[in-house]
Amino acid sequence: MTVSTPQDEMTPLFHDMICRFLEQEVTPHYEAWEEAGEMPRALWRQMGEAGLLGIDMPEALGGAGADVAITQLVIEEISRHGFGGLASAYNIHANIVMPYLLHIATPAQQQRWLPSMASGEAIGAIAMTEPGAGSDLAAIKTRARRTPAGWRLEGSKIFITNGQVADLVIVCAKTDPDAGAKGVSLFLVDTSLPGFTRGQPIKKIGQHASDTAELFFDGIELPEDALLGEEGAGFAYLMQELPRERLGVGAQALGAMQGALELTLEYVKERRAFGQRVGDFQNTRFTLAEVRADIDMGRAYLEKCMAQYRQGTMGPTEAAILKLRLTEMQCATANTCLQLFGGYGYTREYPISRFYLDARVQTIYAGTSEIMKEVVARSLLGKA
């Protein structure tokens, strides 16, 4: 027998609220944001007022004290509506940066940032990737050196989501260049400090509404308490928080798959060819059946991982499998669904084209599919 919990009863209420917010505050404007290559800061404040930021953060820090699954539900619904750029920006802010602060930061650091992030007054980003170092974090060149007053930060980062608008950036830097992974530390960088600059927005093939930037740290003087957690423990913190990051990417993939299916079902029921609905062709029916099966299988594994995450048992292998399979299925689903639109699918007039373009980066960020396969293989065979 399945016993319902108060959280189960809350989920439909949150779901309805999320959908109303998206339909009222996002849908009428999203195309313009895509064209502009950015979303207005006012949107973040609106999300804060609606209680969509910091959902599973403690109430004392500005959150709602809800279950982590509700945050994933927000990501999924944003993605289902076809707002891939917003989904990525939200994932970084509310599902990655805020949990880092909750799990690692001191009480003073939490009070400094979390309430304003929950209200949407402050926007968060995380900076790991560099021009010469992607998945290989041990190769990063950004350096933080001790000074009498704290730290001096030098270096640059690239492909940073929310980089153009962030008020706080969690920066991964080397504090001991001779210690390998054990020489990596994390820092809380207030972007109003002298020495912080942003490059021109990076133009991408998809997720246009989500800004992506190159960031420069030109001798930024940081106070002692800018260090997040312990010195030299940065890599361990990154590994600790990766499961949640990949939960968010999985939720984003699943939502996009569902959204693409819904668009395609609507289209093939109306579009006619050779005297019948496109949806009446066996190829169409079988294709959509496979998409539905992938969605249900993906949801089952996402829910399994969610349960493990709550229990503290979701490890890097499960996170890698989740990220690998769901993002690859997302790309395949977007491609399959677009094909059923024929020539119309290749036009920007039809939203399925945005699902297709927004999907592509999902197999790249948060660890490429190739890295995910390596993680899984090492769990099976051990490190060569």
Predicted pLDDT at 137: 73
High-pLDDT (> 90) share of the chain, %: 92
Q: Which residues are catalytic?
A: 245
pLDDT value at 382 more than 90: no
Predicted pLDDT at 5: 42
Q: With left for phi above 0 and alpha for psi between -120 and 50, is residue 191 left, alpha or beta?
A: alpha
Average pLDDT over all residues of the chain: 94
Confidence of residue 163 (pLDDT cuts 50, 70, 90): very high
Predicted pLDDT at 164: 97
CA distances in angstroms from 39 to 46, 215, 226, listed in the order given: 12, 19, 28
Which is it for the CA torsion 70, 296, 251, 309, positive or negative? positive
- How confident is the model over 322-360, as pLDDT tens digits? 999 999 999 999 999 999 999 999 999 999 999 999 999
High-pLDDT (> 70) share of the chain, %: 96
CA angle 213, 216, 219 (to 5 degrees): 165
What mean pLDDT do residues 15-21 have?
A: 94
Q: CATH number of 235-381: 1.20.140.10, 2.60.120.10, 3.40.50.300, 2.60.40.10?
A: 1.20.140.10
- How confident is the model over 97-153, as pLDDT tens digits? 999 999 999 999 999 999 999 999 999 999 999 988 766 777 899 999 999 999 999
CA separation for the pair 83, 86 (Å, rounded): 5
Predicted pLDDT at 7: 53
Task: Check residues 226 and 12 and name the one with the higher pLDDT.
Answer: 226
pLDDT value at 4 more than 60: no
Helix 316-340 crosses helix 352-359 at what angle (to 10 degrees)?
Answer: 150
Of the candidates 349, 159, 140, 346, which has an alpha carbon nearest to the alpha carbon of residue 238? 140
Q: CATH number of 6-122: 1.20.1630.10, 1.10.3720.10, 1.10.540.10, 1.25.40.80?
A: 1.10.540.10
Predicted pLDDT at 6: 41
Q: Provide the residue ranges of all domains of the chain, joining segments of one domain with +.
A: 6-122, 126-232, 235-381
The answer to whether the beta carbons of residues 113 and 122 sit under 8 Å apart is yes
Q: Considering only CA atoms, give the Rg of the chain.
A: 21
- How confident is the model over 230-269, as pLDDT tens digits? 999 999 999 999 999 999 999 999 999 999 999 999 999 9
Predicted pLDDT at 142: 97
Confidence of residue 11 (pLDDT cuts 50, 70, 90): confident
CATH topology of domain 126-232: Butyryl-CoA Dehydrogenase, subunit A; domain 2 (2.40.110)
Predicted pLDDT at 1: 35
What mean pLDDT do residues 274-301 have?
A: 96
User: How many C-beta atoms lie closer than 10 Å to residue 10's C-beta?
Assistant: 15
